[in-house]
Amino acid sequence: MMNCDSLIFVTYDGVENSVFESQVIVPLQNYQNAHPENSISIISFEKNPERFAQKKYPFEVIFLKKYPYCGKLSLLPAFFQLRGQLKKFNNYSIIARGPVAGFLAVQAARKISCKNLKIQARGLLAQEYMYTKQNTGTLAHIMHRFRAHLYATLEKKMYQLAAQNAFPITIEAVSPALKNYIADEYQVDKKCITIAHDDIPLSIRPAKKIMWRNQIRSELGIPAQSKVYCYNGSAKPWQCPSETIAYFKEQLSKDALSFLLLLSDEPDIFQSLCRKYELMQNSYRILHVAHANIYQYLAAADVGIVFRQPHIINWISRPTKVLEYQALGLEIAHNNTVAMLTKVTLQ
């Protein structure tokens, strides 16, 4: 991150995004620990900003009104709001999360005051939108295609602005695969693209891992000799929840002491899948664990599971759960659909 008087983090994803704690708050806390003399502010666009007025965060959070996206002109209200807030700061740097926040930041930043601007490229906006709108009716599909086209236009414009702008702008990709895609698709010089590292969790010390492992296995009644497979995440179709359970059942057929630990905020879906695959109740546990305690429960596992459908957005991604598994030194079971895992031996 950048050394300056003020660091301003701009997000259009909202503070209720599932990775806000791990991918936004924690890296900013690490930055503050390293640079206690600098102030940190988060500017978040929300559909209902008044909902968050009373909530407490470790940093100043400024909530601005988010309007439906219908092309670049629909971002004018957001642009004027952001510019108004940035005028309150003198010397600052900006980190903008994603192409919408990046587009707004490039346009609204005051070049005299803004010393650096980093745009976090966390995926492919238009591709992700269409991916989540699969299997819709004909009319809805046409509408979704049109909106995806608008997102693609915005994405392209943002990268063009980043390449042409006069003050220092860096694009930070989450993976080498995404860096290559951006460079090739948008004709951006690779020298302008870095690979994210500030939000990669630190490795857990072996002694702490062993302590947590014994503690959680005892708490959950998992035998010490069991090989524990773990899935941490939601049950969205693109995260292949059915394939995850099927994979574990196959491992269970090879080793009757295998155990599956499912950490998810969608327990009902996983419970239904476990019944569908006729898993014995003593071979798995489904828990909803607060992010602050997630590493303790992951420490009980030996293997982390990450299955994805074959698609460009999965290929260029850097799943948060992979970083968490790696922080604990877990083996990773995957299906060769994420580029960063292709050198990891398939379990």
In the predicted model, what is the mean pLDDT of the chain? Answer: 91
CATH architecture of 6-195: 3-Layer(aba) Sandwich (3.40)
Q: pLDDT value at position 70?
A: 87
Q: pLDDT value at position 159?
A: 86
Determine which of 44-58, 124-138, 263-277, 294-308 has the lowest per-residue pLDDT on average: 124-138
Is it the case that residue 133 has pLDDT exceeding 60?
Answer: yes
Q: pLDDT value at position 315?
A: 95
Torsion of CA 181, 13, 59, 170, to 10 degrees: 20
Is it the case that residue 166 has pLDDT exceeding 80?
Answer: no
Mean pLDDT of 276-301: 94
Q: pLDDT value at position 191?
A: 86
Is it the case that residue 231 has pLDDT exceeding 70?
Answer: yes
Q: pLDDT value at position 129?
A: 86
Mean pLDDT of 297-323: 95
The DSSP bridge partners found for residue 121 are 173
Q: pLDDT value at position 3?
A: 44
Q: pLDDT band at residue 4, thresholds of 50, 70 and 90? A: low
Report the C-alpha gap between 30 and 50 in whole angstroms.
Answer: 28
Give the residue extent of every domain in the chain.
Answer: 6-195, 206-341
Burial classification of residue 209, based on how many CB atoms lie within 10 Å of its CB (0-12 exposed, 13-18 middle, 19 or more buried) = buried
Q: pLDDT value at position 85?
A: 96
Is it the case that residue 346 has pLDDT exceeding 70?
Answer: no
Is it the case that residue 308 has pLDDT exceeding 70?
Answer: yes
DSSP class of residue 185 equals: H
Residues 6+ apart with CB under 8 A from 120: 95, 96, 97, 98, 102, 172, 174, 196
Is it the case that residue 347 has pLDDT exceeding 50?
Answer: no
Would 6-195 and 206-341 be classified into the same CATH topology?
A: yes
- Structure-token pair, residue 124: 């492919």
Is it the case that residue 2 has pLDDT exceeding 70?
Answer: no
Which value, in Å, is the radius of gyration of the alpha carbons in the chain?
22
In three-state secondary structure terms, 288 is coil
To the nearest whole percent, how much of the chain has pLDDT over 70?
96
Q: pLDDT band at residue 136, thresholds of 50, 70 and 90? A: low
For residue 48, report the phi and psi dihedrals to the nearest 5 degrees.
Answer: -130, 75
Mean pLDDT of 241-259: 97
Mean pLDDT of 274-295: 94
Residue 305: which of 243, 250, 255, 256 has the closest Cα?
243
Strands (E), 197-312: 228-232, 259-263, 284-287, 303-306
Q: Indicate the CATH number for domain 206-341.
A: 3.40.50.2000
pLDDT digits (tens, 9 = 90+) for 193-216: 999 988 888 899 999 999 999 999
Q: pLDDT value at position 130?
A: 87
Torsion of CA 7, 197, 300, 269, to 10 degrees: 80
Determine which of 100-104, 155-159, 163-167, 200-204 has the lowest per-residue pLDDT on average: 163-167
Going by their DSSP bridges, the two strands 303-306 and 331-334 should be labelled as: parallel
Q: pLDDT value at position 167?
A: 66
